[in-house]
């Protein structure tokens, strides 16, 4: 017994000593690294460096671990990046920016906002130099603002244009024996076509072509201005993939110099007038970034609503109960004087959309409510914006899609093929409700069509009331049709083209604030929430895991399948995603 006790005490003592050693090492590392970082940041003639490939995210709740990013991209918030560049613009120690990010992930509106602030940085007289080996199209869109752009002699630039590719499962469904009953309001509402057709309808082709054309024109204008190329030349470069070799990229003025990395560093040193003994003092943006700290006093709340609109109380996507609690909290907090809701959603559940729109209307009764549209604020995503006092959008935001649809699978033929049957006993004609192994009854078909029609009419009325335009005018721009932010302004679906930063400033003006701090919602770590959900309920919504596992590798396939098959109610949802 004594020997066992002695062994146990020895083990505990060993673990304690191990813990002390690890703690000591961590403290040494922290106090060794931090002074070095501070010294580096305090040096004059410094260069702010964007080197790590990264993913641009919106809210704090999107700062997830690398598990969701198989290519090991680092998540950095858009607003924080913008604040860092603005700070660098007026920081006398920062002389320029070195853009070395060859690959990044982010939506069109995020890239546009970041690009605009980089252009503004140059107005200070400071420089931007860019270097890459293989620029993705997104990374090059930002790198193209550089005063001088360097490319590795073996490098390339993947400038190719915009596209959206849809999956169609009609033939597969027929082979499996799966049939669908479908209902929709809006001739351009094409989300259900993926199960009912083998290719795009004429209406879908028409709206998609116009949308992509509008988005590309904005990007084309930016490329042309930065590289001093005509629009026709940029289109030729894009069509013929003239950035695919370093020589071709330079010959077509996509880059200024072909150089190896050491030669790029030498050019930076010359730009900074450094001596041969001095080296360029790079400050990685991750070291320079300073997250906002919440302070007392008057505040403006920024409510980030990113993802699919769903019914539920979880932190994943935009679940109505979870967000309504936050909205109620914001409404009651006396220090919050105005609210900006940043929407980045293709839509989703019709009831969740209605619930959130109503909650936002009640919030607007208490405080100014300004909407800022991100990459997508379409269908249900646009539905909730109708509660706002004023709406900002990027020229490349995708919005509108005012329409509703429902899709009901019938597995009767499949069940016959694989050999199982069903039988039923009920008290009334329609007791069974919707059967997955039988045709939709005439009574339920009437009910569904009526519900779809009623929800669509309600959508039209919400837009008419919120935007203060006649119902007849809304009907002309509705029908499920999608619009770019630029076109949405002409249709009066939004009030102004502008960034999230501009929306915040407008909110401050509406609340008569000259000094204020920002507070973000939601604050909850989604991974902690997810682990709690798993612990409490092992049967938690499987679509969450589908998203975490597949959305990064197969975004179009995941979006189509999860959006329709994992839903159990009428939908207000965008029919596609755009690849850039």
| Strands, E assignment, 146-208 | 148-157, 179-185
**Which residues are registered as beta bridge partners of 345?**
377
Neighbours of 9 (CB within 10 A): 10
Rounded to the nearest 5°, which phi and psi values hold at 56?
A: -85, 125
Q: 87 — alpha (psi -120 to 50), left (phi > 0) or beta? A: alpha
- Check if 189 is active-site: yes
Closest Cα partner for 130 from 108, 112, 150, 158? 150
Would residue 372 show up in a list of annotated catalytic residues for this protein?
Answer: no
Sort strands 369-378 and 398-400 into parallel, antiparallel or unpaired: parallel
- Cβ neighbours of 209 (radius 10 Å): 11
- C-alpha–C-alpha distance, residues 24 and 33, integer Å: 14
183 touches 289 (CB < 8 A): no
Which residues on neighbouring strands pair with residue 151, listed in sequence order?
A: 132, 258
Beta bridge partners of 131: 150
Q: Smallest Cα–Cα separation from 207: which of 392, 374, 398, 380? A: 398
Would the CA dihedral through 494, 495, 501, 507 be positive or negative? negative
| Residue in 353, 372, 379, 401 annotated catalytic | 379
H or E segment to which residue 304 belongs: strand 299-306
Q: 10 Å Cβ neighbour count for 399? A: 27
Distance of CA 553 to the CA centre of its chain: 16
Catalytic residue among 112, 138, 184, 189: 189
Query: Any idea how long the chain is?
Result: 580
Active-site residue set: 189, 379
């Amino acid at each position: 017994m004594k020997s066992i006790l002695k062994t146990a005490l020895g083990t505990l003592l060993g673990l304690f000593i191990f813990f002390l050693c690890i703690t000591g090492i961590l403290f040494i590392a922290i106090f060794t690294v931090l002074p070095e970082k501070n010294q580096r940041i305090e040096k004059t003639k410094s260069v702010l460096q964007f080197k790590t490939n990264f993913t641009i995210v919106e809210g704090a709740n999107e700062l997830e671990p690398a598990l969701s990013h198989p290519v090991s991209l680092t998540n950095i918030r858009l607003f924080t990046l913008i604040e860092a560049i603005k700070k660098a613009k007026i920081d006398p120690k920062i002389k320029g920016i070195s853009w070395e990010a060859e690959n990044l992930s982010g939506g069109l509106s995020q890239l546009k906002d970041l690009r605009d602030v980089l252009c503004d940085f140059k107005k200070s007289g400071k420089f931007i130099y860019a270097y890459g080996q293989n620029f993705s199209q997104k990374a090059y869109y930002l790198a193209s603002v550089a005063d001088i752009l360097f490319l590795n002699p073996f490098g390339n630039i993947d400038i190719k244009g915009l596209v959206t590719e849809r999956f169609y499962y009609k033939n597969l469904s027929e082979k499996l024996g799966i049939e669908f009953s479908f209902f929709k309001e809006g001739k351009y509402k094409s989300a259900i076509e993926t199960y009912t057709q083998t290719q795009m309808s004429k209406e879908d082709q028409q709206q998609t072509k116009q949308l992509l054309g509008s988005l590309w024109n904005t990007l084309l204008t930016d490329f042309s201005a930065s590289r001093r190329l005509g629009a026709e030349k940029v289109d030729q470069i894009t069509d013929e993939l003239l950035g695919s070799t370093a020589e071709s990229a330079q010959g077509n003025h996509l880059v200024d110099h072909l150089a190896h990395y050491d030669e790029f560093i030498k050019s930076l040193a010359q730009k900074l007038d450094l001596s041969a003994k001095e080296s360029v003092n790079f400050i990685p943006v991750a070291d320079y970034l300073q997250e906002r700290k919440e302070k007392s006093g008057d505040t403006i709340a920024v409510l980030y609503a990113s993802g699919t609109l769903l019914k539920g109380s979880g932190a994943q996507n935009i679940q109505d109960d979870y967000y309504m609690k936050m909205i109620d909290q914001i409404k009651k907090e006396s220090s919050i004087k105005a609210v900006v809701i940043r929407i980045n959603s293709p839509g989703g559940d019709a009831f969740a959309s209605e619930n959130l729109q109503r909650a936002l209307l009640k919030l607007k009764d208490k405080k100014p409510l300004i909407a800022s549209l991100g990459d997508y604020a379409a269908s249900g995503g646009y539905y909730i914006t109708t509660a706002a006092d004023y709406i900002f959008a990027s020229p490349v935001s995708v919005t509108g899609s005012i329409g509703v649809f429902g899709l009901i699978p019938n597995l009767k033929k499949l069940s016959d093929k694989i050999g199982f049957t069903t039988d039923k006993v009920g008290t009334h004609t329609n007791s069974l409700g919707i059967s997955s192994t039988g045709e939709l009854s005439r009574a339920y078909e009437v009910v569904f069509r009526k519900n779809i029609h009623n929800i669509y009419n309600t959508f039209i009325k919400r837009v008419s009331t919120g935007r203060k335009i006649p119902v007849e005018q809304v009907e002309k721009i509705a029908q499920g049709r999608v619009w770019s932010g630029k076109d949405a302004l002409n249709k009066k679906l939004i009030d102004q083209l502008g960034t999230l930063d501009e929306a915040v400033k407008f909110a401050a003006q509406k609340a008569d604030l000259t000094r204020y701090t920002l507070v973000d919602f939601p604050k909850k770590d989604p991974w902690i929430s997810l682990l709690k959900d798993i612990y409490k309920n092992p049967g938690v919504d499987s679509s969450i895991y589908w998203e975490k596992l597949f959305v990064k590798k197969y975004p179009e396939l995941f979006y189509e399948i999860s959006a329709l098959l994992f839903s159990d109610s009428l939908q207000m949802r965008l029919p596609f995603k755009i690849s850039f």
